[in-house]
Amino acid sequence: MLTRRVFLVGTSALVGACALPWQASRAAEAPIKLRELYNKDRSFSDLALANEGRRITVEGYMAPPLKADARFFVLTKMPMATCPFCEPGVEWPRTILPVYTRRTVDVVPFNVPITATGTLDLGEFTDPDTGFWSKVRLGNARYERT
């Protein structure tokens, strides 16, 4: 059976580091789940590694923003009215994904499903504005209700 993961990884392997426009848009068309970015041992999955630097679409929920007029929010895999992980200095959970947006965030209630599409960035990063430390994030992102 051809799973979405196999398809994406296989496609990425074929094109190597040179993503073609149709390939990127193909990835963006198929929302992935946050948990698919990780292996059980907390390392990044093949899917995440294959899509590093590419635009992907991830489904989830918008945690209540850290501050008003931000261009940043935290995507959670489940609805979270408060985000206990959305603070600096905690161990990195696999249940959230920081999203840096093109425009100021228009808040979506925490229990409304959304998809976020952006460039997948892997590796440690500390946001100079918020102090938010992350191991993975989406950049140059947009989002919409599903």
Query: Which residues are at the interface with another protein (CB under 8 A)?
Result: 33-35, 39-42, 77-82, 89, 91, 94, 109-113
Rounded to whole angstroms, how far apart are CA atoms 47 and 6? 8
Rounded to whole angstroms, how far apart are CA atoms 36 and 54? 15
Nearest approach in angstroms of CB 126 to another protein is 14
13 vs 78, beta carbon nearer another protein: 78
Rounded to the nearest 5 degrees, what angle is found at the Cα of 79, between the Cα atoms of 74 and 82?
Answer: 65
* Token pair for 40: 């059980």
42 vs 140, beta carbon nearer another protein: 42
Nearest approach in angstroms of CB 113 to another protein is 8
53 vs 113, beta carbon nearer another protein: 113
Nearest approach in angstroms of CB 76 to another protein is 9
Rounded to whole angstroms, how far apart are CA atoms 98 and 106? 15
Beta bridge partners of 134: 125
